[in-house]
């Protein structure tokens, strides 16, 4: 049956068409539900193949690079740290989403270019942590709760949508025509039919994507040190597990460029210097000693009722800890405390704190 309205029958794709709009609204012919006539089925397949061939020729909109620059500026303003991720072959995100083609691909609603939803990046990283040896990164571990959250509390790392980097695909055409072939359809549909050499294969056209994508993460104040660990997990997952659909066939592998520099701002340079635990002369930064009085903000109440404190005038690599009897069940709020013990673990300095009142100073 004809899928377009009569008034749109003569419309052809142009150099200014949104690829997502074209795919959603301009399929020429569609087979009726529960219709099995061979000729009508072949016409539908041909119409879908034609629609996909047209979509991959639609260029990236002229205004998209300007939008991409504004997006980069917005990420900087929100304290995000960006990295470039390059697709090694093909990638297909949202393959099972609703579509007139029965297959789909995630496209930016306004500009019609492929992108990677932040939820997909977060889901991949969270799933991959189960393969790590460190149980702190397993779903019931503290590191997992900090980065990804729990049913009761959101995580402290924000995974932004990864936008297509303009000009990164061959001839700046990030969409590619692809096909998967079902060789034994009746066997796969459980129709009590054994697979045979004389079965008619069914080609299914679909879209995949190439190019590079800007991956960005943001940490809540005081937890910036967790961004590097999250990037390391995400980068390993993108290379080894892949993201999106058909990863078992090699799709969705990306290489995360950890060498891409963050925006060169004095504030960022200072933060990196402090986080490394060294001053400008390469000396170890000074951490307050036992008995010193510090102030800060409670940023996290753990499952074991210990509270983490972001300490004022100290780098993010120095974290204060309040025991359950000292945290008082608080998940936020300012405190004044005395350092009673100091421990070093994995480049992070933990200070065990004891609350003090003004009359105790």
Contact 160, 218 (CB under 8 A): yes
The answer to whether the Cα torsion of 123, 125, 126, 129 is positive or negative is positive
Token duo for residue 143:
């590191």
Nearest to 205, CA basis, from 182, 178, 184, 244: 178
Q: How many residues does the structure list for the chain? A: 361
Helices (H), the chain: 19-25, 38-55, 64-77, 118-128, 142-148, 185-188, 225-240, 266-275, 324-327
Token duo for residue 343:
């421990």
| pLDDT of the chain, 361 residues: tens digit per residue | 566 667 766 677 776 678 888 888 777 666 655 455 444 467 777 888 888 888 899 999 999 999 998 999 899 888 899 999 999 999 999 988 877 777 889 999 999 999 999 999 999 999 999 998 888 999 999 999 999 999 988 999 999 999 999 999 999 999 999 988 888 877 877 777 788 887 878 778 899 999 999 999 999 888 888 998 999 999 999 999 999 999 999 999 999 886 543 443 333 333 333 333 444 333 334 568 888 899 988 887 776 778 888 888 887 778 889 988 888 877 778 899 999 988 876 456 789 999 987 555 4
Contact 54, 13 (CB under 8 A): yes
- Please give the C-alpha separations between residue 62 and each of 17, 163, 316, in angstroms, as whole numbers: 11, 15, 41
Contact 51, 26 (CB under 8 A): yes
Q: Mind listing the domains of the chain with CATH numbers? A: 61-263 (3.30.70), 293-360 (2.40.50)
- Please give the C-alpha separations between residue 285 and each of 95, 111, 222, 244, 341, in angstroms, as whole numbers: 50, 48, 17, 43, 18
Pairing of strands 162-164, 115-116: antiparallel
What pLDDT, on a 0 to 100 scale, did the predictor assign at position 37? 46
Token duo for residue 36:
């099995």
Look-up: residue for tokens 């879908």? Answer: 48
DSSP state of 87: E
Contact 79, 158 (CB under 8 A): no
pTM for the predicted model, two decimal places: 0.67
> What are the φ and ψ backbone dihedral angles of 300, each rounded to 5 degrees?
-155, 135
DSSP three-state, residue 153: coil
Nearest to 230, CA basis, from 114, 83, 90, 338: 83
């Amino acid at each position: 049956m004809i899928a377009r309205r009569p008034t749109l029958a003569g419309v052809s794709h142009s150099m200014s068409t949104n690829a997502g709009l074209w795919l959603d609204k301009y399929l020429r012919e569609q087979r009726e539900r529960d219709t099995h006539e061979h000729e009508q089925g072949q016409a539908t397949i041909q119409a879908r193949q034609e629609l996909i061939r047209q979509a991959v020729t639609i260029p990236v909109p002229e205004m998209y690079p300007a939008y991409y620059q504004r997006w980069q500026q917005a990420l900087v303003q929100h304290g995000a740290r960006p990295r470039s991720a390059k697709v090694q072959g093909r990638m297909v995100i949202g393959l099972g989403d609703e579509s007139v083609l029965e297959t789909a691909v995630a496209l930016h609603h306004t500009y019609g270019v492929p992108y990677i939803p932040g939820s997909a990046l977060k889901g991949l990283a969270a799933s991959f942590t189960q393969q790590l040896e460190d149980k702190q990164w397993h779903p019931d571990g503290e590191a997992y709760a900090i980065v990804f959250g729990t049913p009761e509390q959101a995580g402290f790392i924000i995974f932004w949508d990864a936008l297509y980097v303009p000009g990164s695909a061959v001839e700046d055409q990030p969409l590619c025509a692809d096909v998967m072939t079902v060789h034994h359809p009746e066997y796969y549909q459980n129709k009590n039919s054994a697979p045979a050499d004389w079965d008619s294969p069914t080609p299914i056209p679909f879209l995949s994507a190439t190019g590079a994508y800007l991956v960005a993460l943001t940490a809540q104040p005081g937890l910036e040190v967790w961004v590097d660990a999250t990037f390391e997990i995400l980068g390993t997952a993108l290379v080894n597990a892949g993201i999106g659909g058909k990863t078992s066939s090699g799709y969705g592998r990306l290489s995360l460029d950890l060498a891409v520099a963050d925006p060169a701002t004095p504030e960022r340079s200072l933060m990196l210097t402090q986080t490394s635990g060294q001053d400008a002369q390469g000396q170890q930064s000074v951490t307050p000693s036992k008995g010193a009085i510090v102030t800060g903000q409670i940023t996290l109440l753990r499952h074991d009722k210990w509270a983490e404190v972001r300490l004022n005038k100290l780098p993010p690599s120095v974290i204060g800890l309040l025991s359950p009897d000292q945290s008082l069940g608080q998940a936020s709020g300012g405190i004044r405390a005395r350092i009673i013990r100091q421990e070093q673990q994995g480049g992070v300095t933990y200070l065990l704190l004891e609350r003090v009142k003004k009359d105790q100073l």
